[in-house]
Amino acid sequence: MRSINIIVAGFGRVGRAFCKVVEDKRKSCRERYGLDLVLRAVFKSDGGIFSDTPISMQSGFLSAPLVIQESPDWKPGLRVQNIIGDLEPGVLVECTPSDLRTGEPGLSHLTAALEKGWHAAAASKGALVLRFKELTGLARQNDLQLKFSGAAAAALPTLDVGIQSLAGADILGIEGILNGTTNFILTRMAEGMDSEQALKEAQDKGIAEPDPTFDIDGWDTACKLVLISNTVLRTEFGLSEVQVEGIRGISHELVLKASRLGKVIKFMGKCSKDEPADPWKLAVGLALLDPSHPLYGVNETTKGITFYTDTMGSVTVTGGKSDPRGTGAALLKDIIGIYADR
Residues near a copy of itself (CB under 8 A) are: 21, 24-25, 28-29, 33, 155-157, 160-161, 164-170, 291, 294, 296-297, 306, 309, 311-322, 325-326, 328-330, 332-333, 335-337, 340-341
Q: What minimum distance in Å lies between the beta carbon of 261 and a copy of itself?
A: 17
For a copy of itself, the closer of residues 216 and 330 by Cβ is: 330
Q: What minimum distance in Å lies between the beta carbon of 213 and a copy of itself?
A: 26
Q: How far apart are CA 94 and CA 14, in angstroms?
A: 10
Q: What minimum distance in Å lies between the beta carbon of 151 and a copy of itself?
A: 15
Residue 196 phi, psi dihedral angles, 5° rounding:
-70, -45
* 341 DSSP β-pair partners: none
**Cis amide leading into 89 (omega within 30):** no
* 305 DSSP β-pair partners: 176, 317
For a copy of itself, the closer of residues 195 and 301 by Cβ is: 301
Q: What minimum distance in Å lies between the beta carbon of 31 and a copy of itself?
A: 10
For a copy of itself, the closer of residues 96 and 302 by Cβ is: 302
Judge contact between 329 and 337, C-beta under 8 A: no
Q: What minimum distance in Å lies between the beta carbon of 164 and a copy of itself?
A: 5
Judge contact between 266 and 305, C-beta under 8 A: no
Sheet containing 304-309, strands listed edge to edge, beginning at the edge strand earlier in sequence: 243-244, 281-289, 264-272, 171-177, 304-309
The closest alpha carbon to 125, from 142, 149, 144, belongs to: 149
For a copy of itself, the closer of residues 100 and 161 by Cβ is: 161
Q: What minimum distance in Å lies between the beta carbon of 306 and a copy of itself?
A: 8
Q: What minimum distance in Å lies between the beta carbon of 334 and a copy of itself?
A: 9
Cβ neighbours of residue 297 under 8 Å, at least 6 residues apart?
none
At 252 the three-state DSSP class reads: helix
Angle, alpha carbons 100-101-105 (nearest 5°): 75
Q: Quote the distance between the C-alpha of residue 129 and its chain's center.
A: 12
Judge contact between 228 and 159, C-beta under 8 A: yes
Judge contact between 95 and 12, C-beta under 8 A: yes
For a copy of itself, the closer of residues 48 and 157 by Cβ is: 157
For a copy of itself, the closer of residues 168 and 276 by Cβ is: 168
Cβ neighbours of residue 219 under 8 Å, at least 6 residues apart?
100, 213, 239, 244
The closest alpha carbon to 134, from 118, 115, 158, 149, belongs to: 115
For a copy of itself, the closer of residues 59 and 316 by Cβ is: 316
For a copy of itself, the closer of residues 93 and 127 by Cβ is: 93
Q: What minimum distance in Å lies between the beta carbon of 99 and a copy of itself?
A: 27
For a copy of itself, the closer of residues 10 and 324 by Cβ is: 324
Identify the sign of the CA torsion 334, 339, 340, 342: positive
Q: What minimum distance in Å lies between the beta carbon of 208 and a copy of itself?
A: 19
